[in-house]
Amino acid sequence: MTRKTTKTNGLSRRSFIGSGATLGAMAGLGGLPFASSAIADSMVEGSILTARVYADISSLDPAFWTSAVDAMVIRCLFAHSLMYDTNSDVFEAQPSAMKSYEFIDDTHIAFELHEGIMYSGDYGEMTAEDAKYSFERIANPELNSPYMEDWATLDHVEVTGKYTGVIVLTQPFAPLLTTTLPGVSGVILPKAAIEDAGGRFSVQPPCFSGPYRIKDWQPKTRLILERNPDWTLTDAPYEELHLIPIEDPKTAELGFEAGDLDFSEISVSSIPRYEANLPAGAEFNKFEGLNYYWMGINELNDQLADKNVRRAIQLAVDRKTVVDASSLGGAVPAAGIIAPALIGSREANLYDRDVEESKRLLEEAGMANSLNLTISIQQTAENLAAAQVIQANLAEVGIQVTINQYESGTFWSLGSKDEGDQYLDLQLFLMRFSMQPDPSWATMWFTPQQIGIWNWQGFDNAEFGELQEAAQIEIDTEKRDGMYKRMQDLMEESGDFVFLNFVPVGVLNSDKVQTALRPDGEPVFYEFSPKQG
Amino acid sequence: MALYFLKRLLLSVLVVILVVIALFLLTYAIPGDPARVALGPRANPELIAEFRARMGLDQSLATQLYNFFVSLLQGDLGRDAISGEPVLNTVLSQFPDTLYLVLGSVLVALVPGVILGILSARYRGGIIDRISSVLSVSVMSVPAFVIAIYLLLVFSIQLGWFPAIGAGTGFWDRLHRLVLPSLALGLAWIGYIARILRASILEEMNEGHVRTARAFGLSENRIMYDYVLRIAVLPMITVLGIGIGQMLSSAVFAEVVFGRPGIGKLVYDAIISRNYPIVTGTVLVTTIFFVVVNLGADLLVAWLNPKVRHDLSR
Amino acid sequence: MTSPADSPTPGAAPKPDPAGDRPAKRRGAFGRLISDPLGMLGVVLIALTVLAALCAGMTSWDPIALNPLARFQPASSEHWLGTDNLGRDLFTRVLYGARIALTVSIGATVIAMVIGVAAGLIAGYGPRWLDNVMLLIFDAMKSIPTVMLALMLVTVTGPSLYAVLLVVVLVNAPAYARMARTQTLAIRRAEFIDAEQALGAGQARIMLRHVLPNIVGPILIVAAMDIPVVVGIEAGLSFLGLGVRPPTPSWGSILFDGFSYIRESAWPVIAGGLPIVITTLGFTFLGEALRDTFDPKLGGGN
């Protein structure tokens, strides 16, 4: 369970940050539909792509999806307003269901939809009314969508024609073109379909509007998508996509090498091996990640309520060794949660490892040699390695740590208030969040409102919350940059966070497959094609 | 004879009932809300409410136990605490893969086991007998998961002869992927089979009718296959009965190491996700299967063996 | 489960005797034991394991100190079995693992033995209905496949060494109980007991004098055969992450760590598996030899 995934490679700052002005103008000029789909291959009959996904689908409703896998599948099933470029070094979004868009001013964005995008069933053609309904649906506080923030400053959508409309914002919104419209929150679905499904749906969409549709779903075994005959905007080279949920990446690697898979993301610790040694018939690519990995320290727990104790833990952890051991040398320590490619990325941490100071703080807090803690992790080799190093580091300052391993589903419920009081029992934990290419996505989970939801640290800082709001509507790059840096400082100062690293992405594919990957290695399956010859 | 069958059947039923009671009580052995305990921390609230209603948690323990049995008899093993799917469906859907694995392992155990058993009885005290005896003892003590990992290391990773994971699709592919896991589970039982067969052949050879046959000048081969083996295989059937049950439960190691689907993998995942109804359901189904196989083996032996048949009907 | 409830032989599992026809030699039990080459080999292998456990503190490495930069080193004069993914010396970890393996397997077997014998005596001495009920319980316990029982219990108790102990006791106690019960019944029927009872000998005294001496031999054999099974259970549960917690070095967890990185380096897997093989072989050989020595007719284990 993570949310939207996105990482980037050589992301040029210019492309996102200015948001409105720069990008909008570019796109407005372009207006070429699908300039990105460089794939000229025609559709190949009977062809099947078999790809590993790390989890089974859990919800395909654009307002309630949960994992990056859901997002990958949603991308194939529904037309998005914009879509990120694939196989490019730079993270840029192009119009997709939207034929074009234009910034009238900072808070008014005019758009025009393609004609002839058909919904399956009897839901007819996509219109501007559908866009109005879909965007306002997620923004509506009554729906209580976890992605409400994607449309944080949406006032309303004005329909100006069958295919045209204007997005009206109350305030400028920086992430609009970087994450909202090209992401799942930019999916346009018809009101009638959602209402027929009872207001929301989970794994059985009431209609399809994308390049593929669901043919068969065997839970935990495979999801088969087939070409949607109504889709005309791009090619859909493969006849069928078979998505196999395999949670353990190392199992997936074996499966790939056995020839069971055409495409798979691999585990971080296997990156050095595949870089050195490629199996026959395979291609390997590594991408810099935006996803971030850290150790959380839960200040809501009685034993960790004292800030000095948390600072002592921070000071005791040898981040370099933790990162090296868990990635087998594939990653380096990070100074925060916003990757170097994005604005708001910090250059350095506020502290260095200091075992003596750590001991002193513990003594001051009256906790010398008397602290027994647990560290909760998801059951993977990387987490276990990292946890064991942390265990050894903390033993040096007299803190005993027990490692508790969980399967992913259980793990992702540990810090949730909905599951009873167990979120108070959580002490240390290793966590990894996925990202969209906008800094607001890194920080939004740590506001006071998120406590007991995704803010498992219980990190409660009013200034942080205000900055989160302010930075979203700030379109001055420099100022925004400073705001996000300040927010990460606040996180670190609280003693609640030990920032570990950004997660590199390694991707294996068969050399018979032409992949279509975003700059972060994230697959856009419907653009994959069989290689000719 | 009929009486023995009946007694044996009754005993099996009693054992199953006892196991069910034990599983039921285990839920109560844990402190806390029984519904939460039975379903695990991740159970969704609707399922908990449904569980309370179904089990009648406000009623006496005996009534609850009765309810538990009644739903069992209706084939209701409860529902998956997380997905809400009926447990029985989930368990049964994973059963075939494990069954293939067990069948493969039985073959692995049986073929070399029988050959070794016959040879070492024929050439008793000879070099084959000695080697077979050492070999038997050796393979039967090494845990299946150690063998599994070594097989994986040598034949999948170093040599690349066999695919490392999955159950495969299509007959040949499936067979190919069955080889290593079957070896891992079956190897240990070669020893058991060889030894029991050797011992019962030797015993049988001393019987009067065999000695008579030999006195009549029948060839050793004819004596072995016509007289001795027909009786001597019977104890082996009993061992196989136990073997199948143990393989069924050791399957968890082969399935984890080789990334195969099956009930072992199912129960392992369920434990890690604290999905207790799946754990209980799988243990129950496996146990019943084990009891039934053993019962079948015992009854088969009784029915095939003229001596036992005679003794029992007295 | 495999024989009618009143089966006369202890440990109903039909493990045949491979050498029942071997001529019995008139020599001391130990002499006969070590004159059997397999028994001798068994003793040597066990001695090796015990030595490993004793020497655990004597290498120049710490079993849990980390040095990730020195990870996945092959065997060398410095690291006799190489290093694992965190750069820990595998040989040292294996030695410490021997302590856990031996403590758990011998400890659990002894507990199972004591509880089993006690239960068997009660069944044998108690009224007929109690005897039957207990037999049924023994049978029921044996009817749950071992691994499944282990998994079930760990679900309840959570992963720990105690869970492993509990599993072993539950799985193995019934075999001892059956043996004790059979012997008790036989003694009870014997006439001299009536005579002693008439002379006022207490029940406890009778058990001590007549029951226990008669079952020591068979029980030791079964125990020797059980120990490798217990080593396997402990390592297996630790392998599945349900036994000892990291960083405690159990052979099973060494093996599991190695399994995670099996394509980076073969050494952790070799280091984790080898001692399991050595120890289980050692105890099995010893058990076989003991059986040949003491009781050629006994079948045991399951």
Q: Give pLDDT tens digits for B120-154.
A: 888 888 888 888 888 888 888 888 889 999 998 89
B164 to chain A, any CB pair closer than 8 A? The answer is: yes
Residue A333: Cβ-neighbour burial (10 angstroms; 0-12, 13-18, 19+): middle
Residues in A touching C65 (Cβ below 8 Å): 392
Same domain, residue pair A135 and A249: no
Given A328, A381, A392, which is nearest C64 (Cβ)?
A392
Q: How far apart are CA B276 and CA C157, in angstroms?
A: 13
Q: What angle do CA A345, A350, A354 make, to 5 degrees?
A: 135
Phi, psi of A433 (to 5 degrees): -110, 145
> Does A218 fall in a domain?
yes
Mean pLDDT to the nearest integer, B207-225: 74
Q: How far apart are CA A323 and CA A500, in angstroms?
A: 6
Domain that includes residue A514, residue range: 3-54+211-288+505-530
Same domain, residue pair A237 and A147: no
CB C157 within 8 A of CB B39: no
C8 to chain B, any CB pair closer than 8 A? The answer is: no
CB A526 within 8 A of CB A73: no
Residue B161: Cβ-neighbour burial (10 angstroms; 0-12, 13-18, 19+): exposed
pLDDT at B58: 61
Residues 269-298, chain C, touching A (beta carbon < 8 A): none
Residues of chain A in Cβ contact (below 8 Å) with chain B:
219, 221, 248, 251, 254-255, 257-260, 379, 405-407, 409-410, 413, 419, 422
> Does A77 fall in a domain?
no
Q: How far apart are CA B268 and CA B253, in angstroms?
A: 9
pLDDT tens digits in sequence order for chain A, 533 residues long: 333 333 333 333 223 322 333 333 333 333 333 433 434 445 677 789 999 998 888 889 999 888 889 999 999 999 999 998 888 877 888 999 999 999 999 999 999 999 999 999 889 999 999 999 999 999 999 998 888 888 989 999 999 999 999 999 999 998 898 889 999 999 999 999 999 998 888 889 999 999 999 999 987 778 999 999 999 888 889 999 999 988 888 888 888 887 889 999 998 889 988 998 888 899 999 988 889 999 999 999 999 999 999 999 999 999 999 999 999 888 899 999 998 888 899 999 999 999 999 999 999 998 888 899 999 998 888 999 999 999 999 999 999 999 988 877 778 778 888 767 788 999 999 999 888 888 988 998 999 988 988 899 999 999 999 999 999 888 888 999 999 999 999 999 999 999 999 999 999 999 999 999 988 888 999 999 998 75
- How many CB atoms neighbour CB A33 within 10 A? 17
Give the pair of three-digit tokens for residue A280. Answer: 């026959």
Same domain, residue pair A34 and A135: no
Same domain, residue pair A406 and A333: yes
Do you find a cis peptide bond into C247, omega within 30 degrees of 0?
A: yes
Nearest to A255 by CA among C288, B177, C238: B177
- Determine the distance from the C-alpha atom of residue B160 to the mean position of all C-alpha atoms in its chain, rounded to a whole number: 30
**CA-nearest residue of chain B to C154?**
B271
Same domain, residue pair A192 and A245: no
* C240-254 pLDDT tens trace: 888 777 788 889 989
Indicate if the pLDDT at residue B85 is higher than 80.
no
Cα end-to-end distance, chain B, whole Å: 8
Q: Give me the residues of chain C with pLDDT under 70, please.
A: 1-34, 190-204, 206-207, 294-302
> Does A405 fall in a domain?
yes
Q: Which amino acid is at A481?
A: D
Neighbours of chain A (3+ CB pairs under 8 A): B, C
Same domain, residue pair A408 and A347: yes
Same domain, residue pair A359 and A236: no
Give the pair of three-digit tokens for residue B49. Answer: 């409410």
Domain CATH code at residue A493:
3.10.105.10
C261 to chain A, any CB pair closer than 8 A? The answer is: yes
Q: How far apart are CA A8 and CA A16, in angstroms?
A: 12
Give me the total of CB pairs closer than 8 Å, taking one residue from chain A and one from chain C.
Answer: 48
Residues in B touching A260 (Cβ below 8 Å): 163, 165-166
Given B11, B143, B192, which is nearest C232 (Cβ)?
B143
Residues in B touching A52 (Cβ below 8 Å): none
Domain CATH code at residue A265:
3.40.190.10
**CA-nearest residue of chain B to C258?**
B149
Name all domains of chain B by residue range, CATH numbers in brackets. Answer: 93-313 (1.10.3720.10)
Q: Measure C247 CA to nearest chain A CA, in Å.
A: 7
User: CATH: 1.10.3720.10, 3.30.565.10, 3.40.50.300, 1.10.10.970. Which one for C35-65+77-298?
Assistant: 1.10.3720.10
Same domain, residue pair A373 and A518: no
Residues in A touching B47 (Cβ below 8 Å): none
Q: Which residues contact residue C187 at a Cβ distance below 8 angstroms, ignoring those fewer than 6 apart?
A: C193, C206, C210, C211, C214
- How many CB atoms neighbour CB C279 within 10 A? 28
pLDDT at A41: 47
Mean pLDDT to the nearest integer, B230-250: 83
> Widest CA span of chain C, in angstroms?
77
Q: Is the ipTM of this complex over 0.85?
A: no
Q: Measure A368 CA to nearest chain C CA, in Å.
A: 21
Give the pair of three-digit tokens for residue A526. Answer: 């419907």
Residues in A touching C260 (Cβ below 8 Å): 250, 381, 384
Residues in C touching A385 (Cβ below 8 Å): 68, 85-86
Same domain, residue pair A445 and A328: yes
Same domain, residue pair A269 and A331: no
C235 contacts B239? CB cut-off 8 A: no
**CA-nearest residue of chain B to A257?**
B163
Q: Measure C246 CA to nearest chain A CA, in Å.
A: 7
How far is the CA of A45 from the CAs of A41, A49, A237, C89, in angstroms? Answer: 12, 12, 8, 55
Q: Which residues contact residue C151 at a Cβ distance below 8 angstroms, ignoring those fewer than 6 apart?
A: B252, B267, B268, B271, B279, B283, C242
B273 contacts A258? CB cut-off 8 A: no
How far is the CA of A268 from the CAs of A7, A294, A381, C123, in angstroms? Answer: 14, 15, 10, 58
- How many CB atoms neighbour CB B134 within 10 A? 17
A379 contacts C264? CB cut-off 8 A: no
pLDDT at B307: 61
DSSP secondary structure, A262-294, as one string: SEEEE-GGGHHHHHH-PPTTEEEEEE----EEE
Give the pair of three-digit tokens for residue B94. Answer: 């994973």
Same domain, residue pair A459 and A446: yes
Tell me what percent of the residues of chain B surpass a pLDDT of 90: 9
pLDDT at B36: 57
* C39-64 pLDDT tens trace: 888 889 999 999 988 887 777 788 87
DSSP secondary structure, C182-203, as one string: HHHHHHHHSHHHHHHHHTT--H
Q: How far apart are CA C233 and CA A250, in angstroms?
A: 25
pTM over 0.90? The answer is no
* Paired residues of C111 in beta bridges: none
C12 to chain B, any CB pair closer than 8 A? The answer is: no
What pairing do the DSSP bridges indicate for beta strands A505-510 and A282-287?
antiparallel
C262 to chain B, any CB pair closer than 8 A? The answer is: yes
C240 to chain A, any CB pair closer than 8 A? The answer is: no
H-type alpha helices, A277-430: 307-316, 319-327, 355-364, 381-396, 408-411, 422-425
pLDDT at B224: 73
How many separate helices (H) and strands (E) can be counted in chain C? 11, 0
Q: How far apart are CA A460 and CA A455, in angstroms?
A: 9
How far is the CA of B167 from the CAs of B100, B179, B261, B278, B305, in angstroms? Answer: 10, 11, 7, 21, 39
A258 contacts B166? CB cut-off 8 A: yes
Give me the total of CB pairs closer than 8 Å, taking one residue from chain A and one from chain B.
Answer: 43
Q: How far apart are CA A281 and CA C95, in angstroms?
A: 43
- SS3 of chain B: the string is CHHHHHHHHHHHHHHHHHHHHHHHHHHHHCCCCHHHHHHCCCCCHHHHHHHHHHHCCCCCHHHHHHHHHHHHHCCCCCECCCCCCEHHHHHHHHHHHHHHHHHHHHHHHHHHHHHHHHHHHHCCCCHHHHHHHHHHHHHHHCCHHHHHHHHHHHHHHHCCCCCCCCCCCCHHHHHHHHHHHHHHHHHHHHHHHHHHHHHHHHHHHCCHHHHHHHHCCCCHHHHHHHHHHHHHHHHHHHHHHHHHHHHHHHHHHHHHHCCCCCHHHHHHHHHHCCCHHHHHHHHHHHHHHHHHHHHHHHHHHHHHCHHHHHHHHC
C246 contacts A403? CB cut-off 8 A: yes
Q: Measure C264 CA to nearest chain A CA, in Å.
A: 7
- The kind and range of the H/E element at C284 are helix C267-294
Give the pair of three-digit tokens for residue C71. Answer: 């990870």
> Does A26 fall in a domain?
yes
Residues in C touching B16 (Cβ below 8 Å): 143
Same domain, residue pair A11 and A50: yes
* B91-104 pLDDT tens trace: 888 888 899 999 99
Q: Measure A328 CA to nearest chain C CA, in Å.
A: 8
**CA-nearest residue of chain C to B251?**
C147
Please tell me the total count of domains within chain A: 3
Give the pair of three-digit tokens for residue A105. Answer: 């001013």
Residues 39-68, chain C, touching A (beta carbon < 8 A): 64-66, 68
Q: Measure C160 CA to nearest chain B CA, in Å.
A: 14
